[in-house]
Amino acid sequence: GCGTLGMFHFNTDVVVSPHGRTPAVATGAKRAAPGKLVFSYQGDGDLAAIGMAEIMHAANRGENFTVIFINNSTYGMTGGQMAPTTLVGQKATTAPLGRNPAETGYPMKMCEILSQLEAPKYIARFALDCPANILKAKKGIRKAFGMQMAGKGFTFVELLSNCPTNWGMPALECMDWMRENTMKVFPLGVFRDGDE
Ligand SMILES: Cc1ncc(C[n+]2csc(CCOP(=O)(O)OP(=O)(O)O)c2C)c(N)n1
């Protein structure tokens, strides 16, 4: 879904768009109401698979909204299928022996890919594995929202997350697994800061 859309035919804060198409919907919302804070909230299946075209082109146009990209390296809601971000060797219902790059390629790193474009103004990756990192993520989101409200352009915040159900482990173990696996493939950091 995307942020405040109270200027259309009905008064609402949230719009659920078709899977993957959120950057297109957010583009329309922000262009129609440039004073509103608009953000999309997208999973890795959503953003890096079905919505790959929408995210690339919204970023390339420098649309002035914020993307919150929740990367838990799985299609959670539909039951744990392989996502573009699934790690090599990570098990999924559609990769029961673990992701094999010879068949399905390698994890796609969206911050790094989007950093090849000129227009984006802020691109950063954080992890939600411990309070210190959650506070950093919060700062990054605040920064992205601030840049958007200052009219700077496209801002993208990736948050490494987890999925106890589909990873098949308790929540606390997920935090360790993230640190030992996910964060090695998806390094944390600010890839672009248009304020600097
Ligand atoms: C056009 C379309 N295709 C497929 C689906 C089915 N679908 C719903 S959620 C989902 C996967 C979501 O995975 P992700 O975006 O990674 O988010 P998560 O559930 O892990 O948070 C899919 C394929 C859909 N809702 N709409």
Locate tokens 């405040």: which residue?
Answer: 4
Tens digits of residue pLDDT in 12-21: 788 999 999 9
Atom of ligand 1 nearest to the CA of 72: 20
**What element of type H or E holds 92?**
none
User: 58-95 pLDDT, tens per residue?
Assistant: 999 999 999 999 999 999 999 999 999 999 999 999 99
Q: What pLDDT is stored for residue 10 in this prediction?
A: 67
Distances (CA, A) of 100 to 22, 32, 48, 93, 183: 30, 44, 18, 13, 19
Mean pLDDT, rounded, of the chain? 94
Name every protein residue with a CB atom under 6 angstroms from any ligand 1 atom.
Answer: 18-19, 43-46, 50, 70, 72, 74-78, 83
Q: Whose CA is nearest to atom 17 of ligand 1?
A: 43
Q: What values do phi and psi take at 102, rounded to 5?
A: -65, -25
